[in-house]
Amino acid sequence: MFTIEKNDPLCRARTGCLKTGHINAETPVFMPVGTQATVKTLTPDDLYQIGASIILSNTYHLYLRPGEQLIARAGGLHSFMNWERGVLTDSGGFQVFSLSAMRKISDQGVEFQSHIDGSAHFLTPEKVMQIQMDLGADIAMCFDECAPYPCNYEEARQAVERTTLWARRCREAHHSDRQILFGIVQGNVFPDLRLKSAQDLLALDFPGYAIGGLSVGESKKEMYETIQAMDSLLPRERPRYLMGVGAPEDLLEGIRHGIDMFDCVLPTRLARHGSAYTRQGRITVRNREYAEDFLPLDPDCGCAVCKGFSRAYIRHLVKAGEMLAHRLITYHNVHFLVNLMKEARQAIRAGRYMDFYHQFLTVYQIS
């Protein structure tokens, strides 16, 4: 399923190949988020042109609407959304636990109210596995408890214990031979809890491991220290997935410490607010300073949007409330991160990842 092709000589970065189901992806890889079985404003053809090899969809949202049984009758997610490449489904744990005023957690599962219509639901690890098998994703994720940040040590410890309990039940309930299952390491920013969670999950021998519970409010320093610690705890021969992290500087830091897979809503969310990635940092193209700027969003970018449209035109679309603005900026932002991964792979293969890392961050202004 996963092979490592090249290790960088000066850090822990590596390139590899992940093959399973519809997935044939070079790693490190950025996975655009298609929560509702669509990457907002983009078509599958757009994603093919951009070079996306895996997209992420969300179990919680698809369970509530349109329902996993309908998607199963359509032939699974790939057929339902006309996407021929890889799909990973998040377990929905983060979404459920973000509904703090609308849910009740026990060792058995989570009782919650739908954010759509207020209806009552109860998700167990076994049910989450069945939903993901019905959805037909290539990679499924264990149901886990994501402790909030900040939280006290005891809250984080209980979340780790429950994550292990549920991971064991997910492992037992998952029986698809067309889908692989990843475990999710929790522990908040407490090193000993991260160690315990990793050890517990390693004993269950998952094909891949994810690092959850980051990019939820902790400092960059805390995030990076946790990622570095995970590098020494997770097996090198298995794919490693850093969940919900998508800022360019965070992606490069993750790669530096042996992370293979990333996802984040940031490129599409920024686009809806009129912001675009450039080599010099993020720009907010809706601002007045771009009203007569006829440069592309990023002069150093070769995507279809930057080849054909100016900042001034896209700003006009934003100010006029035209949907095309969101589509164009989203296309560019997703391309920017997918291409950043391509450049990182090239640098690793050349044995110069740290040069690439420093050169990029010397120019890129972190927002």
Give the pLDDT confidence score for residue 194 in this predicted structure. 98
How many CB atoms lie under 10 A from the CB of residue 155?
A: 14
Contact indicator for 239, 27 with CB cutoff of 8 Å: yes
Rounded to the nearest integer, the mean pLDDT of the chain is 97
**Confidence (pTM):** 0.98
Average pLDDT over residues 220-239: 98
- Check pLDDT > 80 for residue 100: no
Give the pLDDT confidence score for residue 93 in this predicted structure. 84
Q: What span, in angstroms and rounded, lies between the C-alpha atoms of 62 and 34? A: 11
Q: What distances in angstroms separate CA 340 from CA 93, 232, 249, 337, 357, one per listed residue?
A: 29, 25, 10, 5, 11
Query: What is the tens place of the pLDDT at every residue in 145-159?
Result: 999 999 999 999 999
User: Which residue numbers are catalytic?
Assistant: 90, 263
Query: What is the tens place of the pLDDT at every residue in 44-81?
Result: 999 999 999 999 999 999 999 999 999 999 999 999 99
Contact indicator for 299, 359 with CB cutoff of 8 Å: no
Average pLDDT over residues 135-150: 96
According to DSSP, the β-strands at 2-7 and 180-185 are unpaired
What phi and psi, each to the nearest 5 degrees, are found at residue 147?
Answer: -70, 145
Query: What is the tens place of the pLDDT at every residue in 7-19?
Result: 999 999 999 999 9
Secondary structure of residue 219 in the 3-state scheme: coil
Give the pLDDT confidence score for residue 94 in this predicted structure. 87
How sure is the predictor about 97, in pLDDT bands with cuts at 50, 70 and 90? confident
Q: What span, in angstroms and rounded, lies between the C-alpha atoms of 245 and 224? A: 11
Q: What distances in angstroms separate CA 126 from CA 61, 109, 168, 278, 362, one per listed residue?
A: 17, 9, 10, 43, 47
Give the pLDDT confidence score for residue 96 in this predicted structure. 80
Query: What is the tens place of the pLDDT at every residue in 153-178?
Result: 999 999 999 999 999 999 999 999 99
Instruction: Give the end-to-end CA distance of the chain in Å, rounded to a whole number.
Output: 37
- Domain assignments of the chain as residue spans, ordered by start: 2-264, 266-367
Domain boundaries 2-264, corresponding CATH code = 3.20.20.105
